[in-house]
Chain A
Amino acid sequence: MPYSSLIVNPMRQELTAVGFQELMTPDEVDAFMNEKASSAMLVINSVCGCAAGQARPGVHLALRHEVRPERLVTVFAGQEVEATKQARDHFADIPPSSPSIALFKDGEMVYFVPRHRIESRSAEDVAADLTAAFDRYFAAETAS
């Protein structure tokens, strides 16, 4: 059952404020996937503070890095249920978890951070994992 928008909206805004586009429907998810952006990050957002409370600040910190994905999108697990399912269907061999973070290069997933790699860690630790992945997979795109 979805949470009240009074609870959820600030959690949405933590991501939209730094440039994330919310994917609200399966069609919007498919459109993003079909873009095959040269570098993209998908955040599966979540209400639970035990993990998501560090995911969003970690993403914020990571996006200060010189190398970063050009396309930023998010779906909200438990809120946009169909859109979240559609996103997960695009990487069906990965067990679902939320919050989680996926990086795409030319439409192919190249890196995935499941929930258990976020929970109990600091935002700085989450950001360090992400920026290392940005450098590994997206450095050429940012430099060109």
Chain B
Amino acid sequence: MGTFHDDKHELHGTTIVVDTTSDEIFIGRCEDIDEREVILLDVDVHRDGDEGRSKEDYVQHAAQIGFWKKYDRVAIASEKVVSVRRLGDL
């Protein structure tokens, strides 16, 4: 039993990794995805090379234990999105 949201994108409620055309990669809970943007809640962002870690190093670490929220909500414009993956698939 739970609460469900059938009016949202199929990834709603799922923790996703959003890579972008910039040096930033985001992890957060998908609120919704439409033609204009990807909206994430409880979001962390990593910049390529920060703390000596590449984007992929950061994602692999997050896949093991999770991630620390930095922002309540982030909207990423669709034209900046390179890929969207489920963190649980990594």
Does B14 belong to the interface (CB within 8 Å)?
A: yes
The verdict on B52 contacting chain A, using a C-beta distance below 8 Å, is no
Q: Is the beta-carbon distance between B68 and A119 smaller than 8 angstroms?
A: no
Report how far A85 CA is from B87 CA in the complex, Å: 24
Total A-B contacts with CB atoms under 8 angstroms apart: 59
The listed residue (A49, A50, A112, A114) touching B1 by CB distance below 8 A is A49
Task: Decide if A116 touches B15 in the complex (CB within 8 Å).
Answer: yes
Residue of B3, B12, B13, B65 near A95 (CB, 8 A) is: B65
From 94 to 144 in chain A, residues with beta carbon under 8 angstroms from any chain B beta carbon are 94-97, 112, 114-121
Chain B interface residue count, Cβ-Cβ cutoff 8 angstroms: 18
Q: Is A53 engaged at the interface, CB distance under 8 Å to the other chain?
A: yes
The main secondary structure of chain B at its interface with chain A is loop
Whole-angstrom distance between the alpha carbons of A118 and B2 in the complex? Answer: 14
Q: Is the CB of A50 within 8 A of B65?
A: no
Segment with Cβ contacts to B, from A6-14, A19-27, A31-39, A67-75: A6-14
Residues of A within 8 A of B (CB): 7, 10-11, 14, 47-53, 56, 94-97, 112, 114-121
Q: In the A-B complex, list the 3 residue pairs whose CB atoms are closest, starting with the nearest.
A: A49-B2, A50-B13, A53-B2
